[in-house]
Amino acid sequence: MIKLAASIYCFFVLFSGLAQVEKDSVPLTQDTNSKLLLRTLDENLTQKYQGKEFEYDIRDGESQNFLARFLNWVMNGLRDVFGIDIPPGITKILEYLIYGLMAALAIYLLIRFLTGENASAIFRKKEAATINLNLAEEHIESLDLDAMISDAIEQRNYRLAIRYQYLKVLKTLSQHRIIEWHYEKTNQDYEKEITAPKMRQLFKDVSYLYDHIWYGEQEIDDLKYQAAEIKFVNINNIGTHG
């Protein structure tokens, strides 16, 4: 009985579906009576839609980086607190100046990292080449440095005496084959040539004094010179006697 009822239900569903398909299958007729209307664009269309409101590729305002926003914040603060109205062009100039200083600092740090030179050696010529003696043409061993030191002390030019003391150290070490002197070499070049640890440390000490007194333009008196002279005498004695 249940199977018979199910069969009758399926028959009616199938029959109603076929009837619906037949009802919807109405053929379309071609319309030959309506007139076609051809439309053309207005010749003044481009002029009609000109103006900032139709320029969608232009953004209102300009994106700013952190530095520009910070400078604008400072300028706005000066204007609000002190009533100082600074033109936008000044802010732009300050921004470029800061970028320039940052670039110079980056170059300085890069050179120092790659060369291992100290700050005084980066922005000056190599030390041995800057002295007023023409060491490029005259070998250091031909100089009477003791007489030159005495003359500098007699004139109370202790900075110059320190300069000659340092050259005397280079002369002593070169004569005893501890270093190979050349007027274009730097302190760091000579340090690498010195193999004895004690000698290398003494050389670093006198190089430090030489840099800070001569290139640092630190004026010293007789007492400070005598204290510094002890280090130069010690390294010369060790270099001479081993």
Q: Report pLDDT for 242.
A: 60
Mean residue pLDDT of the chain comes to 75
Average pLDDT over residues 151-160: 94
Per-residue pLDDT reduced to its tens digit, 172-191: 999 999 999 888 889 999 99
Is residue 133 pLDDT above 70, yes or no? no
Report residue 110 as tokens: 């890069």
pLDDT of the residue at 81: 76
Q: Please, what sign has the CA dihedral across residues 162, 168, 174, 178?
A: negative
> Given this model, what pLDDT does residue 170 score?
94
pLDDT of amino acid 135? 56
Query: 88-96 long-range CB contacts below 8 Å, 24 or more apart?
Result: 95/67, 95/68, 95/71
Q: Per the confidence metrics, is the pTM higher than 0.85?
A: no
The whole-number pLDDT of residue 115 equals 63
Angle (CA) 209-207-104 rounded to 5° is 95
Q: How do residues 10-61 score in pLDDT, each as one tens digit?
A: 555 555 554 454 444 456 666 666 666 666 666 666 666 666 555 555 444 4
CA proximity to 186, closest of 211, 165, 162, 161: 211
| pLDDT tens by residue, 160-174 | 999 999 999 999 999
Q: How far apart are CA 199 and CA 193, in angstroms?
A: 11
